[in-house]
Amino acid sequence: MTLMKALPRSAVLGAVMSAVGIFTSAAIAQDAISESHMAAAKNVAEVTKVLEPFDEILPILAEQTRTAFIQAEPTRAEEIIEITQDVALQLAPTRSDLNKLVYQAWATNFTEEELNQLAEFYTTDLGQKLTSALPAVTQLSVGAAREWQDKLSTDMVTMVQQELQKRNKVE
């Protein structure tokens, strides 16, 4: 079993197309963004800690890649582990590309002055509290939305079934 058979082609194609789209739009966007505007965006990204969730991308991809190759060729497990680790270390410097894209996203959506105001806010006690609390608030909100969606789905199916049964009796 080859790796390409283990990985869905649509996933590989989607990743490539997404990367091309991101880098193309980023290159276009960067032309209009001044150095000081990007610096302000970088400052906000740092004080809001928006980059932290991305720290696990490379280790997770390395683990997934290692697992896929080992499943395809279990007799080469040690070699695969070594190579995957080496490749991950080679790719680590590309993290700065992601950071730049995040800075561009901030700079595209906020003026330099707004970014400076945001950075000022996020360095206050309340801003730091928001930065710390936001992941938990988001997690709880997403959990609540999932619960509501599940209940809504159950209610919808039940109500449609009941209405169909009523109409079936009438006809």
Phi first, then psi: give them for residue 123, nearest 5 degrees.
Answer: -90, -5
For residue 33, which of 89, 95, 108 has the smallest C-alpha distance? 108
DSSP code of residue 7: S
* Under 8 Å between Cβ of 72 and 3: yes
Write the pLDDT tens digit of every residue in 103-161.
999 999 999 999 999 999 999 999 999 999 999 999 999 999 999 999 999 999 999 99
Structure confidence at residue 32 as a pLDDT band (50, 70, 90): confident
Q: What is the pTM of this model?
A: 0.66
Phi first, then psi: give them for residue 33, nearest 5 degrees.
Answer: -105, 125
- Dihedral of the CA atoms 10, 16, 21, 27 (nearest 10)? 170
Nearest-angstrom CA–CA distance, 103 and 42: 5
Domain ranges across the chain? 3-123, 125-171
Name the burial class of residue 112, with classes exposed (0-12), middle (13-18) and buried (19+) by CB atoms within 10 angstroms of its CB.
middle
Residue type at position 114: E
Q: Which of 1-5, 72-76, 77-81, 140-144 has the lowest mean pLDDT?
A: 1-5
Structure confidence at residue 31 as a pLDDT band (50, 70, 90): low
Residue with tokens 């079934």: 161
User: What are the C-alpha distances in Å from 168 to residues 154, 158, 161, 163?
Assistant: 21, 15, 10, 8
